[in-house]
Amino acid sequence: MSGSHDTEHHISAYKKVAGALAVLTVVTVLASYVEVGVALGIVLALIIASAKGSLVASVFMHLKDEKSLWLTGTLVLTVVFWFVLMLIPIMGRMDNIGTYKPLPNANAVPYVPH
């Protein structure tokens, strides 16, 4: 258990994070009105959301001070498998099934007998 001094230190961090989250929420809404195209828009929104998410996880959920290797290890493992899960849509589109693909030797020099 941390002492009351630590807790007061935490509270000031909570207030800063609360401010940052409010600012980032406004930023992400404003950014969505800027015409940057769909792809860049998605990237921007996800970067801002990840920043907000990291703040919540590290400060509010105290992951910043977490020392238990079992706990952090489990979370790392979860994140790894989460990414595997998120690969499913990409994997489904890997081979461009149905699109024309030239055979590797299609442009080879034809064999001419001497």
Q: Which residues bind another protein (CB under 8 A)?
A: 1-2, 4, 7-8, 10-11, 14, 17-18, 21-22, 25-26, 28-29, 32, 38, 41-42, 45-46, 48-49, 52-53, 56-57, 60-61, 67-71, 74-75, 77-79, 81-82, 84-86, 88-89, 91-95, 97
- In the bound state with another protein, the residue whose beta carbon lies nearer, of 3 and 113, is 3
Work out whether the CA dihedral 36, 37, 38, 40 comes out positive or negative.
negative
Strands (E), the chain: none
- CB-based contact 52:73 (threshold 8 Å): no
- In the bound state with another protein, the residue whose beta carbon lies nearer, of 2 and 110, is 2
Using DSSP, how many helices (H) and how many strands (E) does the chain show?
3, 0
- In the bound state with another protein, the residue whose beta carbon lies nearer, of 94 and 109, is 94
- In the bound state with another protein, the residue whose beta carbon lies nearer, of 102 and 113, is 102
Q: Find the shortest distance in angstroms from Cβ 111 to another protein.
A: 28
Q: Find the shortest distance in angstroms from Cβ 64 to another protein.
A: 13
Q: How far is CA 63 from CA 14, 25, 77, 82, in A?
A: 13, 22, 15, 18
Q: Which residue has the tokens 């989250």?
A: 21
As a dihedral over the C-alpha atoms of residue 23, residue 29, residue 35, residue 41, rounded to 10 degrees, the angle is 90
Q: Find the shortest distance in angstroms from Cβ 107 to another protein.
A: 21
